[in-house]
Structure 1
């Protein structure tokens, strides 16, 4: 008889015994299920790659907010006058 020990979600051992030709197939199927479960648990413990995308989204939102503040500042009369005077002074030197 083939015996296969699997671990359920609670960490408890589950024992299955299968016999004969059908038992061999069932044991292989059970072993494959256990391996698949182990792979899923491994993948679940690895860091998520989607976190990088979320970080890019946060950076883009912050950059957009910064650009909006710059546009608002550059539209103000004080900044326009300051920049115009700088350009005039630079052109008069040349």
Structure 2
């Protein structure tokens, strides 16, 4: 496209190159900032509830696995002996 003041290079997807007048670039930058602000406000208003639910599920599975490992350790003879000796020493003091 050829304007009155200078040549505007249009790449066909709606962006204007550096040869555009300053007002046109500023207008597009303002419009982009307004759209970005609107998107951020939309995301802040609509929390991703599904993602939070999935995160809770992962935490629950991890906690259950940790509890299973802990129970298995506490049932072992070595840990039972260790805990019994600790309690006996504490009661002797």
Calculate the TM-score normalised by the size of structure 2: 0.50
Q: Greater strand share, 1 or 2?
A: 1
